Structure 1
Amino acid sequence: MEAMDAASVTFLREVLATTGWVERTCEFALPLRATRTPGGLLVVGTPEDEPWHLAAHLDDEARVSGLAQLAPTLVRWSPPPGAPPHLAVGIDRIQAARRGETLFVVAERKAPVPLLERVDDARRTGATILALDGGDPDLEGLAHDALAVPERDGLFTFDAAQHLVSMAAGEAPRQRGRLLDRLARLAERVTGPRVPD
């Protein structure tokens, strides 16, 4: 996942505004906010591709938004000995997932069978399963919600999707903003646009 600042993500949103992807990423990100406790948002990838950069962005969003439940636990397949605590959580953590926790699987390529088995276990124990993937029917069949990113869809790449989802997770639900925008437009129609002093 390439580094992308907030201004770049905002620009990307503007470019993608008419495609439906912005709304879909916002809708997909909403359940991330519903995780009940800090550390209960488990983020896992494949053995070859750990989503540490996405986890860092979610951690930033948790801090900025004040939503402690967005601070993720990065689950790793083989944490190296002596890794700091936040980078030392092994794959067995998924087996301990419970109701009120969210397992967020990030896999651009097909999820391996050991990952699918663990996702199935977490679903059976009541965890909410979300999948950001490249179109994996096996993974999507286990997920409560999945966002499949097409291999080629202009600017909407797998990397862009991760940035859009992490930013959307830290924001208030967009419906409220839409209502306020509509009320502001209605007020302008009634009273006319506000003239600066």
Structure 2
Amino acid sequence: MDAHHVAVLRDLLASTPWVERSEKFAQALRRTREAGGLLLMGTPGEEPWHLAAHLDDESRYAGLPQLSPSLVRWSPPPDAPAHLGIGLERLSDTRRGDTLFVVNSEEEAPVPLLERVDDARRKGATVLSMDQGDRELGALAHEALSLTPEAAPLTFDGLQHLVSTAAGDPREGSASAGLRERVSRFLDLVSGPRIPD
């Protein structure tokens, strides 16, 4: 989903609470203190690759290195490159100032995931969850964003796009202006320096 489609989705959802909820959740993401402190984790059966890529893009476009996530994987292959080889052992190193962002597109998080989230929280990490009505995971989170069935036409994928785009805009309440600025910066990066007329 590109910036234009995210803007259309925001307009479509303007009369619902979802834009405001995604912006509030994005503010919590931006509270991560330092680069490498945002840990993004899914379930054993589904890793949030797509969201990781979008947050990494937003981090670069907005100049917010703390938004670039470390994707924590359940079973990374031994020959995976360093940025794709972060395993569950990273959770044992969590500390105050880290943010554990858990994405669960299933109905309920598996027990091993809940145990690891609870451990990270006890070590001082801020826990954020995005789910589809998972009460146990939501109860462990400091901030939870749950997509409920009545949220149509918003999909779980659409919600991830709303959050990642809002996370890249550090100015509260100015999402559309921030989106235009990020698109402009992106075009500058892609096309190189402009030659004055």
State the TM bucket, normalised to the shorter chain: 0.7 to 0.9
* Count of aligned pairs: 175
> 2: CA distance between counterparts of 1:14 and 1:64?
22
1:151 to 2:149 alignment: yes
Letter in 2 for 1:126: G
Query: Which residue of structure 1 lines up, in the alignment, with residue 23 of structure 2?
Result: 26
Counterpart among 77, 89, 105 of residue 74 in structure 2: 77
Query: Which residue of structure 2 lines up, in the alignment, with residue 35 of structure 1?
Result: 32
* Percent of aligned positions that are identical: 59
User: Which runs of no fewer than 5 residues in structure 1 stay unpaired?
Assistant: 181-197
Tell me, what secondary structure is at the counterpart of 1:74? strand
Matches within 5 A, 1:1-197: 4-109=1-106, 110-175=108-173, 177=174
Letter in 2 for 1:118: R
> 1: CA distance between counterparts of 2:154 and 2:161?
10
Range 152-161 or range 136-145, more displaced: 152-161
> 1: CA distance between counterparts of 2:132 and 2:162?
16
* TM-score normalised by L of structure 1: 0.86
User: What's the offset of the Cα at 1:96?
Assistant: 1.3
User: What's the offset of the Cα at 1:152?
Assistant: 5.0
> 2: CA distance between counterparts of 1:9 and 1:164?
7
Letter in 1 for 2:94: A
CA contact (8 A) 1:59 1:71 kept: yes
Range 86-95 or range 58-67, more displaced: 86-95
Deviations 1:52-77 (A, max 9, x none): 11001000000000000001000000
CA contact (8 A) 1:42 1:75 kept: yes
Deviations 1:126-175 (A, max 9, x none): 10000000111110110001000013522211111100000000002333
* TM-score normalised by L of structure 2: 0.86
Larger radius of gyration: 1
CA contact (8 A) 1:36 1:101 kept: yes
> 1: CA distance between counterparts of 2:91 and 2:9?
33
- Over the aligned positions, Cα root-mean-square deviation in angstroms equals 1.4
User: Which runs of no fewer than 5 residues in structure 2 stay unpaired?
Assistant: 178-197
CA contact (8 A) 2:38 2:101 kept: yes
Tell me, what secondary structure is at the counterpart of 2:149? coil
